[in-house]
């Protein structure tokens, strides 16, 4: 009932503000929510806008469209494939080398599949939505901390989450006799519980963000990190979900891409009170018992440790950047 009420009766606020002088990165910005979020960023006058995309051709088409509709000329298109750890590392190095500052990072790129796909030795959704996302965050934080110190400002890293996190029983927790995240990429187990695979990735993502916020509060940490839920939208995320039933449901219930993108800006423009928090419909919201209850908190600590172990195995020591 909460989901339908939100979809039909809540409208995220239209983004307002002034981004003059700010450098903003938006991932997954050649289509859908990312593109419309980038358009809002351009409309608010960002001095430098980076479209981080997997397809450079589609990225340049998006750049032209956004520039024509907003008048912003200083838009760049950079390569980033969130399913490839080397691409993530190369992108972070480019940010370090070519950006004087990094004020806002909208990490919107994500994936949901109708069937099993593998990337970097894991189920693709876990690679993109979890491991790759936290690897990217760890690699980007030094530039954002540098920006905070040099320009006396508070950068924001916001990632696109989903209310789908609450639509799982998290079966991996009970089934795992070793690491939970390894169980999330166990093909036989994942395919048996496929309807829960995407929600599980979003649940794990939310736990990871909350763990950082709890262990490194806004009073001590110079960058705001949050996760925002755009609701069900007419975006490209669910393009693999091509059943007639889902198509009809989406036709009736989904928000427009522009309305959904407002939530990404809400996360990007939020203050330190949003650090480590979950935003829905553009406002901070307490997650459900699945996340905040005793079992949820125990699972949060466990998966956060596993995320750190994973990303440190890719880039040794990168998790140190999550500290103050």
The domain segmentation of the chain, as residue ranges, is 2-312
Average pLDDT, the chain: 91
User: Quick one: CATH architecture of 2-312?
Assistant: 3-Layer(aba) Sandwich (3.40)
**Is residue 138 within a helix (H) or strand (E), and if so which, with residue range?**
helix 132-151
Q: What is the pLDDT of residue 112?
A: 87
> Residue 177 — pLDDT band, cuts 50, 70, 90?
confident
Q: What is the pLDDT of residue 8?
A: 55
171 burial class (0-12, 13-18, 19+ CB within 10 angstroms)?
A: middle
**Is residue 171 within a helix (H) or strand (E), and if so which, with residue range?**
helix 171-175
Clarify whether 202 is annotated catalytic.
yes
Q: What is the pLDDT of residue 242?
A: 56
Average pLDDT over residues 190-195: 94
pTM, full prediction: 0.92
288 token code pair: 């459900």
241 token code pair: 């979900």
Clarify whether 198 is annotated catalytic.
yes
Q: What is the pLDDT of residue 324?
A: 80
Residue 239 clears pLDDT 90, i.e. is over it: no
295 token code pair: 């079992």
Q: What is the pLDDT of residue 144?
A: 98
Catalytic residue among 35, 63, 85, 198: 198
Q: In the chain, what percentage of residues exceed pLDDT 70?
A: 89
More confident of the two residues 164 and 251: 164
Q: What is the pLDDT of residue 1?
A: 47
Catalytic residue among 63, 202, 283, 320: 202
Q: What is the pLDDT of residue 118?
A: 96
């Amino acid at each position: 009932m909460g989901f339908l009420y939100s979809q039909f009766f809540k409208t995220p606020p239209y983004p307002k503000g002034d981004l003059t002088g700010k450098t903003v990165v938006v991932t997954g910005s050649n289509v859908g929510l990312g593109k419309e979020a980038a358009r809002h960023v351009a409309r608010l006058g960002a001095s430098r806008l980076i479209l981080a995309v997997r397809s450079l051709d589609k990225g340049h088409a998006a750049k032209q469209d956004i520039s024509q509709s907003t008048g912003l000329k200083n838009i760049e298109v950079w390569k980033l494939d969130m399913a490839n750890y080397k691409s993530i590392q190369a992108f972070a190095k480019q940010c370090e080398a070519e950006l004087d500052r990094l004020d806002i990072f909208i990490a919107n790129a994500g994936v949901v599949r109708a069937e099993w796909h593998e990337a970097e030795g894991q189920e693709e959704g876990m690679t993109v939505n979890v491991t790759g996302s936290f690897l990217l965050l760890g690699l980007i934080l030094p530039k954002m901390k540098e920006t905070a110190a040099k320009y006396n400002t508070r950068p924001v890293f916001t990632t696109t989450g989903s209310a789908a996190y609450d639509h799982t029983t998290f079966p991996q927790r009970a089934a795992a006799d070793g690491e939970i995240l390894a169980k999330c990429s166990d093909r036989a187990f994942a395919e048996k519980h496929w309807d829960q695979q995407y929600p599980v990735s979003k649940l794990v993502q939310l736990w990871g963000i909350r763990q950082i916020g709890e262990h490194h509060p806004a009073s001590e940490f110079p960058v705001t990190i949050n996760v925002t839920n755009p609701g069900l939208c007419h975006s490209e995320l669910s393009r693999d979900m091509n059943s007639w039933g889902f198509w009809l449901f989406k036709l009736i219930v989904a928000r427009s891409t522009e309305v959904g993108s407002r939530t990404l800006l809400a996360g990007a423009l939020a203050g330190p009170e949003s650090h480590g928090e979950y935003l829905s419909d553009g406002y901070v919201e307490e997650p459900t018992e699945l996340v905040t209850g005793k079992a949820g908190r125990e699972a949060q600590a466990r998966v956060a440790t596993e995320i750190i172990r994973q990303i440190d195995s890719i880039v040794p020591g990168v998790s140190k950047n999550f500290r103050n």
